A and B are shown apart, each in its own frame.
Chain A
Amino acid sequence: MEVALRRWLPAVRALPVGWTAAALLLVALLTVPLAVVAVGAFAPAGEAWGHVATTLLPEYLLHTLILALGAGGLALVLGVGTAWLVTMCDFPLRGFFHWALVLPLAVPAYMAAYTYAGMLDVTGPVQRLVRWLTGAGPDAFLYWNVMRIEVLALIFGFVLYPYIFLLTRALFEGRSGRALEAARIMGRGPWSIFLRIALPLARPAVVAGLALVLMEVLNDYGAVAYYGVTTFTTGIFRSWFAMGDLDTAIRLSAILMLVVLVVLGMERWQRGAARYDEAGGGRPVTRYRLRGGAAAAAVVFCFLPLVMGFLLPVGQLGLWTARTAPAVVDLSFLRMALNSFVLASGAAALCVGVAVVLAYAGRIDRTPLTSSAAKLAMLGYSIPGAVIAVGVMVAVLGVDRALTGGTALILTGGLGALVFAYLVRFMAVGYLSVEAGFTRIGANLGSASRTLGASPLRTLFRIELPLLRRAVLAAGVLVFIDVLKELPLTLILRPFNFDTLATRAFELASIEQVPQSAPAALLVIGAAAVVVAVLHRTFSLEARQ
């Protein structure tokens, strides 16, 4: 400790004061709601605590673990596998998969869970088809129990793998040049290169993507509640909603946060001194040309997640929409769409802006100070949105009290508070993507700029950001999509009469009018898909000109 201190002290003196202060201030702001939750862990246990801790916790933990392993494992295989295929191999439809494989991200996990249940339901299209094909009578219902934890884990895997795909793909493309080609020249086969070189190289991106996937799984409530799977998060809501014991809910959330913090810390520690910077730009690699069976296998492997994570859910939603749209869709959809779009884009822009400040400050400050602090700001992604909402409410109300002495609410119930809550919630998404982008650029260009007399700010705008624009746009799109489909925060913190497409879809689904919720859900997915496609077009045009 003392050694570490002595080593740090000179570096602390050399801190870029403005940047560090700005970053720490932002982190402080973002962690106030989380601190509210963390402090709750030390409050006296509520009445539900003993009950939950003794009767339920083991089962909750087991289920959470199964979901995390299943979803994480599948997402890992799909995400890394498809990223490798579209960057390093040539096969039919590669260009299409290159961007289309991101699409499942647009499908909210709970919506996918609902559509799969609906699809295989006794009155669902699959059973209808089977009855029609077999000529069985209308009474010949089949029963497939799809509402099971294994199925849910697969659904999570299929809709969440794009996080890993996106980050890993960017990394393969960026560093594609030297290491992979070097390995190829040394006579290594594609499998060997993939396992021995590409995977270890891709580790930071894979880990970042996996962290996002797991945190999404941890905080999900809609899907697990519908499938009757009890997890840590259902425990949180059981204490709060069913037993009216918010203290226990907060205490459970704090535990969840601590676990995530430890896991993030362990990753950092285990990564150790290994460096993943890469110097210079990557030029396009010579891809492996796949033929015959291998090409077919690659197409199938890429189609699988696209079908399962996007086409099937969207198809089912389309069927429902065709049936219910005339009764459900009205002019208010326009207003909701505008609300969704404005909110998502505003929050995405702000979130990425803050993420850039945090990541850049961490990059230039030479101490673990800022980057460790930024880790704290990422915790919001792991705990259920409804719990963050409570933290945000307390924090924002505190400001209101300070301003008005408790007589009026200025920020509470306003869009500002909601956008702030999004930042708390999605900072991990923005930060991880931006940080991965910085890693890809390497440190030398920034250093060169500094030795040429450019201040950190000038360096950021003239050198880092222009080179970072892909990562920044990608981060923005991820946050945009996340906000677009976000629910609990929007539901609890929104102003009066403020509906978004996601809240409308959820309201209808929650009163078991899933088919009626389809038009709004389809619009959410459609908007996200359009943004993904447009972004892809921008990039590919730029690369082709």
Chain B
Amino acid sequence: MNVLTGRAIRRGGRAGLRRRRSLVGLFLLVAAAGLAACAGGDTGGGDVVNVYSHRHYEADREIFRRFTAATGIEVNVVTASADELITRLRNEGAASPADVLITVDAGRLHRAAEEGLLQPVRSSDLEANVPARFRDPAGHWYGLTQRARVLVYHRDRVDPSTLTSYGDLASPEWSGRVLVRSSSNVYNQSLLAGLIARDGLEAAERWATGVVANLARAPRGGDTDQIKLVAAGVGDVALVNTYYLARLAGSSDPEDRRAAERLAVRFPDQSGGGTHVNVSGAGVTASSRNVENAVRLLEYLTGDEAQRLFAEANQEYPVKPDVPWTSILEEWGEFRADTADLSVLGALNAEAVRLFDRVGWR
């Protein structure tokens, strides 16, 4: 190496070092200031309500904003999976800052209530907004939206009259035609829990065994993937929640819309026990220090404005009876839902998972 250039390197290196050192210092200062600033957010006193939510929907933020605008109550949110939030609640105990827990299935709410993490609350508005079967009798939790687990089939390849019940998915004629996602998904778990409660463990196990035998491919991906695979002809029928198809039909991608056009919805068990319905719901935490605000939030969430927004933004069925459905849901029509007590979904959840594992539904 040339001596001169070598020298230059070292000079540059040292000057660079000094420059970098001051840069690093500046950077650390900014970082510290930033951390301090970010850590802000009043979660204690004042007019606030603190929410732990498993609902990751953009619409929810908008709904909270409107609630704040209407009531002046600040809404602070942490979103994560319900199980993680329940663990956080349990660990924080009486000191927990959370006032409201929102989940996407009744089973988790039931589990939280069983652990004493939720407190019963009552209000005439809540009772008026939420029909009895969508809430805990003692008032530990209230449903916010309904989700129906339905059959989506290919218009050209399936005669809807041959597809009337969940039970059909287990019959031999559907061999190699059924698509469904993994059993680690909570919607499948609550469906099976519902079937166990309604038909008994043995019948449920026979059904699950039959479905596994009929699968077009091993369970993977989400509900949307199952729907697209039906459109692609990999299978003929998929077991999914309604709003995934509704969302695909309303997608900004023309390919998605074209795929959705080939598909139709079938509400199963209309002549039997009714279609499986779960709710996403909310409860007030046992440790809440803003119970009044929490109840006002629940009242708002079950009220007309929020219910309409839930429906529009995410194509979910509102729990409040007189709130209008979206046009797609209207088009699919009314259906008979399973009216069994939703808290059994939580009680039987672990049982359902063990059953899934026994029959090899991954």
Query: Given A342-B38, A492-B88 in contact, is the A409-B9 Cβ separation under 8 Å?
Result: no
Q: How far is the CA of A408 from the CA of B234 in the complex (A)?
A: 55
The answer to whether A512 and B223 have CB atoms under 8 Å apart is yes
The reply to whether B222 and A226 form a contact with Cβ atoms under 8 Å apart is yes
Asked if B27 lies at the interface with its beta carbon under 8 angstroms from chain A, I say yes
**A469 beta carbon closer than 8 Å to chain B:** yes
Q: How many A residues touch the partner, as a band?
A: 35 or more
The yes or no answer to B344 lying at the interface (CB within 8 A) is no
Taking a contact as CB atoms under 8 Å apart, the answer to whether B353 and A243 are in contact is: yes
Q: What are the interface flags for B192-234 relative to A under an 8 Å C-beta threshold, 1 for contact and 0 otherwise?
A: 0000000000000000000000000111111111001101111
- Of the candidates A122, A128, A227, which one forms a contact with B228 in the assembled complex, judged by CB atoms under 8 Å apart? A122
Tell me whether B84 and A415 are in contact (CB under 8 A).
Answer: no
Contact B32 A143 (CB under 8 A): no
Contact status A228-B220, CB under 8 Å: yes
- Distance, CA A313 to CA B156, complexed state (A): 34
Please give, as numbers and ranges, the residues of chain A lying within 8 Å of B96 by CB-CB distance: 409
Chain A residue nearest to B216 (CB atoms) is A143
- A476, B174: Cα distance in complex, Å: 55
Given A123-B228, A244-B83, A511-B56, A393 and B78 touching (CB < 8 A)?
Answer: no
Q: Which of B137-145, B163-171, B252-260, B294-302 contacts A (4 or more CB under 8 A)?
A: B252-260
Which of B12-20, B269-277, B323-331 contacts its partner? Answer: B12-20
Q: Determine if B16 and A542 form an interchain contact, defined as CB atoms under 8 angstroms apart.
A: yes
Contacts of B182 in A (CB 8 A): 225, 228
A245 within 8 A of B: yes
Q: Chain B residues near A241: list those with CB within 8 A.
A: 81, 83, 184, 186
B221 & A415 in contact (Cβ 8 Å cutoff)? no
- In the complex, what's the smallest C-beta–C-beta distance from A467 to chain B, in angstroms? 11
User: Does chain A have a CB within 8 A of B354?
Assistant: yes
Verify A406–B9 contact, CB threshold 8 A.
no
Min CB gap B61→A, angstroms: 8
Whether B253 contacts A515 by the Cβ 8 Å rule is yes
Asked whether any CB of chain A lies closer than 8 Å to the CB of B119, the reply is no
Q: Are A342 and B31 interface neighbours, CB within 8 A?
A: yes
Stretch at the interface among A3-11, A19-27, A198-206, A493-501: A493-501
Q: Could you tell me the distance in whole angstroms from the C-beta of A415 to the nearest C-beta in chain B?
A: 5
Contact indicator B350/A242 (Cβ below 8 Å): yes
Q: Which residues of B contact A409 (CB under 8 A)?
A: 92, 95-97
CB interface residues, B 64-98, toward A, < 8 Å: 76-81, 83-85, 87-88, 91-97
A458 at the interface (CB under 8 A from B): no
B39 x A495 contact (CB < 8 A):
yes
The chain A residue with its CB closest to the CB of B107 is A244
Establish whether residues B189 and A242, one from each chain, have CB atoms under 8 Å apart when the complex forms.
yes
Contact assessment for A346 and B34 in the assembled complex, using a CB-CB cutoff below 8 Å: yes
B17 touches A466 (CB 8 A): yes
Interface membership of A43, Cβ < 8 A = no
Minimum distance in angstroms from B196 CB to a CB of chain A: 14
In the complex, what residues of B have CB within 8 A of residue A55's CB? 357-358
Look across to chain B and name the residue whose beta carbon is closest to the beta carbon of A408. Answer: B95
In the complex, what residue of chain B is closest to A353 when comparing beta carbons?
B28
| Most chain B beta carbons < 10 A, residue from A227, A229, A389, A497 | A497
B92 contacts A397, C-beta separation under 8 Å: yes
How far is B9's CA from A245's CA once the two chains are assembled, in angstroms? 60
Contact partner, A122, options B35, B95, B259, Cβ 8 Å = B259
- Output the nearest chain A residue to B9 by Cβ-Cβ distance: A545
| Distance of A67 from chain B, by nearest CB (Å) | 14
Chain B residues closer than 8 Å to A416, beta-carbon distance: 39
A123 B31 Cβ-Cβ under 8 A: no
Q: Do the beta carbons of A283 and B91 come within 8 Å of each other?
A: no
CB distance from B129 to the nearest CB of A (A): 24
Given known A400-B95, A491-B79, contact A342–B244 (CB-CB < 8 A): no
Complex alpha-carbon distance, A398 and B40, angstroms:
23
The answer to whether B253 touches A123, judged by C-beta atoms less than 8 angstroms apart, is yes
The answer to the question of A147 belonging to the interface, with a C-beta cut-off of 8 Å to chain B, is: yes
Q: Could you tell me the distance between the alpha carbons of A106 and B218 in the complex, rounded to whole angstroms?
A: 31
In the complex the two chains form, is B78's CB within 8 Å of A142's CB? no
A143 x B233 contact (CB < 8 A):
yes
Mark out the residues of chain B between 330 and 346 whose CB falls within 8 Å of any chain A CB in the assembled complex: none
A496:B362 contact, CB within 8 angstroms: no
A408-440 residues with Cβ-Cβ distance < 8 A to B are 408-409, 412-416, 419
Interface centre among A225, A327, A342 (most CB of B within 10 A): A342
Contact residues in B for A491 (Cβ distance below 8 Å) = 79-81, 84
Distance (Å) between the CB of B122 and the closest chain A CB? Answer: 27
- Contact A138–B31 (Cβ < 8 Å): no
CA distance A458 to B27 in the complex (A): 24
Q: Are B357 and A51 in contact (CB under 8 A)?
A: yes
Is A90 interfacial (CB 8 A cutoff)?
A: no
Structural contact, B84 and A386, CB atoms closer than 8 A: yes
Q: Which A residue sits closest to B52, measured CB to CB? A: A496
Specify which chain A residues have a CB less than 8 angstroms from the CB of B13 in the assembled complex.
542
In the complex, identify which listed stretch (A209-217, A232-240, A257-265, A368-376) lies at the interface while the others stay far away.
A232-240
Query: Across the interface, do B56 and A507 meet the contact criterion of CB distance under 8 Å?
Result: yes
CB neighbours of B217 from chain A (8 A): 145
Quick check: is B349 within 8 A (CB to CB) of the other chain?
yes
B residues neighboring A (CB under 8 Å): 1, 8-9, 12-13, 16-17, 20, 24, 27-28, 30-32, 34-35, 38-39, 41, 43, 50, 56-58, 76-81, 83-85, 87-88, 91-97, 111, 181-184, 186, 189, 217-225, 228-229, 231-234, 244, 247, 252-253, 255-256, 258-259, 262, 349-350, 353-354, 357-358, 362
The 6 A-B pairs with the shortest beta carbon distances in the complex, nearest first, are: A228-B220, A507-B56, A342-B34, A496-B76, A141-B232, A122-B232
Known: A122-B229, A386-B84. 14 other contacts (CB 8 A): A141-B232, A228-B220, A234-B184, A237-B184, A242-B189, A242-B350, A243-B349, A338-B34, A341-B34, A343-B38, A389-B84, A390-B91, A496-B50, A507-B56
A–B complex contacts, Cβ < 8 Å, 7 sampled: A225-B182, A228-B181, A349-B31, A409-B95, A409-B97, A419-B35, A495-B39
